[in-house]
Structure 1
Amino acid sequence: MKIYLRILQYAPGIRSQLIKFLIYSILASIFSAIYLGLLQPMLDILFIQKVDAGATSYPEFAFSMDYFKTVVKYYFSDVIHEDGPLQALLYVCLFIVTFVLFSNVFRYMERMVASRVKADVVKNLRIHIFKNVSQLHVGFFNDQRKGDLISRFTNDVGEVENTVVNGFKAVKEPITLITYIIVLFSISTKLTLFTLIVLPLTGGVISEIIKRLKKRAVQSQETMGRIVNILDEAFSGMRVINAFNARGFLLRKIEDEATFHRKVNLSISRKNELASPLSEFLGVIVVAFILYYGGQSVMAGDKELPPSAFILFLAVYASMIQPAKNFSNGVTSLQKGVVSAERIFAIIDTPSAIQNKPNAIHLEQFKGSIEFKNVGFAYEREPVLKNINLKIEKGKTIALVGPSGGGKSTLADLVPRFYDPVEGDVLLDGISLRDYELESLRKQMGVVTQESILFNDTIFNNIAFGMPHVKEEDVIHAAKVANAHDFIMQTEEGYRTVIGERGSKLSGGQRQRLSIARAVLKNPPILILDEATSALDSESERLVQDALNNLMKNRTSIVIAHRLSTVQHADEIIVIQRGEIVERGRHDDLIQKDGLYRKLKDIQRV
């Protein structure tokens, strides 16, 4: 129940919406029950045409069903005496149509309230999921499957949408059932008491079904997450799949997961669909008893249960079967939605390892230096960086080189606080990065990585990404600095050309130059270049390197490179091996030392 109430909190003004829903549900049930409950006295007068003594004078007011029955008899007896049975029959028909109309109007209004709440919950829940997930630290996405995250955003939210509707059914149908039970008591107390005996039995059966549903619902949602993940990887890597003839391998993986998903969903369906037939079967057993017991009373001439009352009792009880089925279906279906909601809230409640301190400092401008003091870092328990001490003065270019896996990229990731060190501290202008407001800190930095992160949008929007209200001339200037303007103008629609998913319509060098143009437009004082040219051919590398040289002018730059020829002019080269600084100095000095840097340089000459 706590999970469901938390879901409803995503609908604005939920209290007023629930009050409206309850009012409309009660009114719809009352109008539906009134025409059934007051049908008996009309039938008595119309078809038996006998007026009780109680109907010849207006009764004294009493809040009871008998009072309302007597009032109806009083007025309809007058109609029959004055206008005849045919006119009374017309009034009966109009009476039924009017009350059914009101009942359905309120039922429509009740459903619209539920639909509005459902739409608001789905919209706000999706926004909240993305808002929270996008704030999580980079390491979170290394541990999580992207397909599972997408599944929670789509499939799980879809299940929650159904849960909102089913939850409202679970609230609405008891109101209808209680209203009908009141009418049944007014007709025959003995028969009604017996019908209530079966309710605990039905509830026990449904409760057992619900317990078995939950485990399967978890398996179903987890399996769907794995399927989405396989599809995402397959569609992204179709070139490799075809090159290695791996289509059959992936097809078997999909078949295995889809087969298990089918098995789990069939199990859920068997249990879910069992609730309604069982409740209906138990209800029919009661109807059979009512027919037998009530029929005996009618045939014996029981004055407490005349034929019209017996027929009305059967009609009202028959009207209860569908709401009872809806209630049982709603309760059993809630379980799958609750499981999905738990998966969603598990993501929403995941705290980010990188957060702003209370009263964090807003960084207006980078003025002095970046300093690493005795910095150590580890992924889980495996050390990646050990006792790093390094100071980068403003306007200087520092190159990080060394064997793969040495910790170069991790060291650079500490500067924009993608991670925090587990030992020591990183300072900017003498203040710990943890003390700065995260958004203002990252505003001072631009990152260009080996893999160009582009979006299925226009060239203009990719360069201006995250920077609203940018002038076109500024975007063009950034593209020219990045050596991208010429190839952009050769595309079909220039800066309005859509470049496909992840920039698939462009070459590697073109994608990289768009990433550089984006960094130029941002104009950050601190620049981080992580293997920005390593995946390019010689011609593209030259163009990109020229663009990078333009970008690094008058900036503080941290350059990670395997191609040592691209960092020879750095102010200082830091050689990192197994998480430690083993050499440092300018290019010529390191060559003369004849250490690891010289060894790496000689290897690249071969």
Structure 2
Amino acid sequence: MNQERQIKPLYMWWRIIKSTFMWWYLLIAAVVAMIGFAVSNLAMVYLLGPVLSALFNPESATLSAQLEKFSGSETIKAKIGTLLAPILYKQTPLETLKQFAILLVIIVLIKNLFQYIQNISAMQLMQNITNFFRKKLFEKILTMPLGFFHRMKAGALMSRVISDVQMMQEYISDTIADLIRDPLQVVVHYAFLLTIDSKMTLYITVIVPLIVIGMSIIGKHLRRYGARTQEKMAELASVLQEGITGIRVVKGFNAEKLEASKFKKFADKYLHNIMKMYRVRRLAGPFNEIIGAAIAACLLWFGGRKVILGVGPSPAEFMQYILTLFLMMQPIKAVADKVNRIQQGLGAASRVFWLLDLKWVSAPKKGSIRIKDIKDGIKFEHVWFKYDESENYALKDLTFEIPAGSMVALVGHSGAGKSTTADILSRFYIPQKGKVLVDGIDLAEIEDSSWRALLGIVSQEVILFNDTVSANISYGDPNPDTKRIYEAAKAANALEFIEKLPQGFNTIIGERGLMLSGGERQRIAIARAIYRNPKLLILDEATSALDTRSEMLVQQAIDNLISGRTVLVIAHRLSTVLKADKIIVLEKGEKICEGNHEELYETCEQYREIYDLQFGKK
């Protein structure tokens, strides 16, 4: 079995970030809007200083006073002040105050416009990424061999496509935009703090490593708990899926309490893990709050002291500094929180990328030869096959031929290897030894899509989809032919009951075709095979689950279907194979007899035993 491996966080990050480049225009729009938002947010803070000056020191709130203030200085602060003075200040204090009021409204409008553009662009980008990975995951699942589905539960796979991808979006994709916006705000605010008091700002910077170390410790635990939580969710989904799909068995065996108890057990495990994760995540808030309070206390003492002594920034500038610092702490805190959320999301991402990158060890190699017909026939040559991790071979040195245009039947007790033979012929599995030849060509060398285009498969377990009768009959055809659908249904003896359905061929038949009886579902499956017009027909236990009348109708449909085709029939009921050109008797994976009915009854003890058990002694 392919074990689930640990995937490095940097690799997952790179995969997610690389996917954003497919929608580069949305990424650029979001980044530009984020920059505009950060700058406009800072502009509101910058406006606070001039407003305070205008209110408490009106003489300084004029254009001439401001230009005189910065004249002769070559500092960055003086250059910025000289550049912005004509925009902010007018000739009188009252005109300046009016200008401030107008600018405030304009800045708020611009800020919210940028925020709207950022939100829409980022959301579209993140939804595109989520949709991309969900579709890739389902495409990957569809390409996996049957052995994979024996190992992986349906509920677990559903959990990966739905829950894990959703968690990737909520905890990673949704935070990518914030991880661009928030650091931008931090950089812009930090640069502004340097212009006010560079020395005090550098002292504060020393504390940043403490925050990084603390967040990395918390994040490591969150990533581990995130992965465990998603595993428990997959187990929970599997129990739920099995309980719902097997509801007839559950009720038939009075097992409602058993299933409820099983679900409760896994639900409690999921709750236990998610609360562990929540408790660790909530440590981040208090940790950052304590660090922030320590910074504020130091700033209030050292910075306020310099203002009082007149050796530092002006009171208005100190207010700008305090407000800017607290505005900067908000995105810093948000970044820390987002990093923790990402750690949780990486647990789900590792499960998604493991499946996307999975190479099944026993997957059939891809052939390249395309064929359009079966002219000579099919030959099994010394085929040996066993399932993954099984010690015993399901097929042992199996050799037989299916001449083109003939009907060959496989019979034997349960576990004889009949269905396994059909699966190998369908190329769902590959033999460990030996080979299957089609017109002398090794089946392993034939392209899968080319080979399966020649196949029609009808089995005891009929799989129908929650769609119309027409869609189920023409399944796999992108351009269904209404006339062919009608003719296929007629040949399958299905026309009678289809026309009695509420909307006829347009009737939705429910999940797995549950609105139909077993015999009706079987005939829809035969109609699907007839519509496909296969060169090779595989009937695996095609009538063994039906009552006598349904079997008669199905048998008539099969007779209509097999004419002029190569057919492999597998059935416990010998009434379905008496007309076969050749019958092969299997026992424990080995061929023990071969011939027609008369020959086998006379010469093959095992065949005679099966026949007598079903029909009574001759």
Contact 2:37 2:115 in 1 (8 A): yes
Q: Do 2:455 and 2:538's aligned partners in 1 also have CA atoms closer than 8 Å?
A: yes
CA distance in 1, matches of 2:87, 2:15: 51
After TM superposition, give the deviation of residue 268 of structure 1 in Å: 1.1
Cα deviation 1:109-131 (Å, max 9, x = unaligned) = 22222112111111111111111
- 1:482 and 2:483 matched: no
In structure 1, give the amino acid aligned to 2:384: G
Partner of residue 260 from structure 1, selected from 269, 278, 282 = 269
Pairing of 1:398-547 with structure 2 (within 5 A): 398-547=408-557
- Structure 1 pair 53/236, CA: closer, same or farther in 2 (3 Å)? closer
Report the CA distance shift for 1:48/1:142 in structure 2 as closer, same or farther (over 3 A). same
Bigger drift between 85-94 and 16-25 goes to: 16-25
Task: Classify the secondary structure of the residue corresponding to 1:284.
Answer: helix
TM-score, length of structure 2 as denominator length: 0.93
Q: What secondary structure is seen at the aligned counterpart in 2 of 1:425? A: strand
Q: Deviation at 1:390?
A: 0.9
Displacement after TM superposition at 1:488 (Å) = 0.9
| Structure 1 Cα separation of the partners of residues 500 and 21 of structure 2 | 50
Shift of residue 486, structure 1, vs aligned partner: 0.5
More displaced, 293-302 or 478-487?
Answer: 293-302
Which of 93, 99, 119 does residue 91 from structure 1 map onto?
99
Normalising to structure 1: TM-score of the pair? 0.95
CA gap of 1:277–1:26, structure 2 versus 1, over 3 A, is: same
For 1:22, the equivalent position in structure 2 comes to 31
1:318 partner amino acid? F
Please say which of residues 489-498 and 146-155 is displaced more in the overlay.
489-498
Q: Does 1:603 align with 2:613?
A: yes
Does 1:296 pair with 2:308? no
8 Å Cα contact 2:70-2:81 kept in structure 1: no
How far has the Cα of 1:419 moved from its partner? 0.7
Q: Does 1:368 align with 2:376?
A: yes
CA distance in 2, matches of 1:315, 1:11: 35
Match of 1:205 in 2: 214
Q: Which segment is superposed worse, 437-446 or 4-13?
A: 4-13
Among all aligned residue pairs of Structure 1 and Structure 2, give the percentage whose two residues are the same amino acid. Answer: 35
Structure 2 residue 241 is matched with structure 1 residue 232:
yes
Q: Distance in 1 between matches of 2:495 and 2:17?
A: 51
SS in 1 for 2:282: helix
* Alpha-carbon offset, residue 252 of structure 1: 0.8
CA drift of 1:528 comes to 0.3
3-state SS of paired residue (1:568)? coil
Aligned counterpart, 1:336: 344
Residue identity opposite 1:4 in structure 2 = W
C-alpha separation in 2, matches of 1:76 and 1:262: 57
Q: Which amino acid aligns with 2:296?
A: V
Q: 1:354 to 1:524 in 2, by over 3 A?
A: farther
Give the superposition deviation at 1:386: 1.1
SS in 1 for 2:370: coil
For 1:193, the equivalent position in structure 2 comes to: 202
Letter paired with 1:56? E
1:562–1:41 Cα change, 3 Å: same
**Partners of 1:75 and 1:17 in 2: CA distance:** 33
Shift of 1:382: 2.6
Tell me which residue corresponds to 1:578: 588
The verdict on how the C-alpha distance between 1:61 and 1:517 changes in structure 2, with shifts beyond 3 A counting, is farther
Distance 1:71 1:351 in 2: 62
Q: Go from structure 1 to structure 2 and tell me whether the alpha carbon gap of 1:61 and 1:462 turns closer, same or farther (over 3 Å shift).
A: farther
- How far off its partner does 1:284 sit? 1.9
**Partner Cα distance (2:105, 2:189) in 1:** 19
Where 2:254 maps in the other structure, the secondary structure is coil
Q: Which amino acid aligns with 1:317?
A: L
Cα deviation, residue 191, structure 1: 2.5
- 1:459-518 alpha-carbon deviations (Å, 9 max, x no partner): 111111111222222111101111110011112221111111111111100100000000
What is the DSSP-based 3-state SS (H/G/I as helix, E as strand, rest coil) of the residue aligned with 1:382? coil
Equivalent-residue separation in structure 1 for 2:459 and 2:127 (angstroms) = 40
Q: Any idea what SS the aligned residue of 1:383 has?
A: coil
8 A Cα contact 2:54 2:97, kept in partner: no
Give the partner amino acid of 1:64: I
2:317 maps to a residue whose letter is A
Deviation at 1:207, TM superposition (A): 0.7
| Candidates 31, 40, 45, aligned match of 1:31 | 40
Deviations, residues 167-221 of structure 1 (Å, cap 9, x unaligned): 2222221111111111111111232123212211111111110111112111111
What are the equivalent positions in structure 2 for 1:280-319 lying under 5 Å apart? Answer: 280-302=289-311, 304-319=312-327
1:147 to 155, 173, 186: 155
Q: Is the 8 Å Cα contact of residues 452 and 511 (structure 1) preserved in structure 2?
A: yes
Question: Hey, what's the Cα distance between the residues in 2 that align with 1:297 and 1:61?
Answer: 22
- Map 1:154-169 to 2 at 5 A: 154-162=162-170, 163-169=172-178
Among residues 203, 215, 225, which one is paired with 2:224 in the alignment?
215
Kept in 1: contact 2:369–2:445 (CA 8 A): yes
Paired AA for residue 8 in structure 1: I
Does the C-alpha gap of structure 1 residues 428 and 61 become closer, same or farther in structure 2, counting only changes over 3 Å?
farther
**Separation in 1, partners of 2:416, 2:72:** 95
Q: Distance in 1 between matches of 2:493 and 2:584?
A: 29
Q: Which residue of 2 aligns with 1:348?
A: 356
Question: Are the counterparts in 2 of residues 56 and 74 from structure 1 also a CA contact under 8 Å?
Answer: no
Counterpart Cα distance in 2 of 1:444 and 1:8: 42
Range that drifts further, 479-488 or 44-53: 44-53
Q: Aligned partners of 2:75, 2:303: CA distance in 1, in Å?
A: 27
Q: Distance in 2 between matches of 1:587 and 1:76?
A: 104
**What aligned pairs does 1:38-53 form with structure 2 within 5 A after superposition?**
39-51=48-60
Q: 1:227 Cα deviation (Å)?
A: 1.2
1:246 aligns with 2:255: yes
Distance 1:459 1:336 in 2: 44
Given candidates 567, 571, 577, the residue that maps to 2:577 is: 567
Q: CA contact under 8 A between 1:10 and 1:120: conserved in structure 2?
A: no
Is the 1:354–1:417 Cα contact (8 Å) retained in structure 2?
Answer: no
Deviations 1:380-432 (A, max 9, x none): 24311111111111011110011111111111111121111110110101001
Q: Give the superposition deviation at 1:445.
A: 0.6
User: Aligned match of 2:132 in 104, 115, 124?
Assistant: 124
Give the secondary structure class of the aligned counterpart of 1:13: helix
Deviation beyond 6 Å, 4+ runs, structure 1: 60-63
- Unmatched tracts of structure 1, length 5 or more: none
More divergent stretch after superposition (221-230 vs 524-533): 221-230
In the alignment, structure 2 segments of 5+ residues that lack a partner are: 1-9
What whole-Å deviation, never above 9, does each CA across 1:549-574 have from its counterpart, x for those lacking one?
A: 11111111100111112211111110
Stretch moving more, 315-324 or 142-151 = 315-324
Between Structure 1 and Structure 2, how many residues are aligned?
A: 600
| Deviations 1:124-145 (CA, angstroms, capped at 9, x unpaired) | 1111111111011111111110
Structure 1 contact 370–391 (Cα < 8 Å) conserved: yes
> Partners of 1:266 and 1:333 in 2: how far apart?
14
Tell me the distance in 2 between the aligned counterparts of 1:333 and 1:105: 28
Within 2, Cα distance between the matches of 1:223 and 1:75?
A: 60
Which residue does 1:181 correspond to in 2? 190
Specify the SS of the correspondent of 2:129: helix
SS of residue matched to 1:364: coil
Q: Relative to structure 1, is the Cα distance of residues 17 and 494 closer, same or farther in structure 2, using a 3 angstrom cutoff?
A: closer
- Equivalent-residue separation in structure 2 for 1:122 and 1:319 (angstroms): 31
Query: How far, CA to CA, are the matches of 2:231 and 2:463 in structure 1?
Result: 28
**Is residue 2:22 matched to residue 1:13?**
yes
Name the residue aligned to 2:116.
108
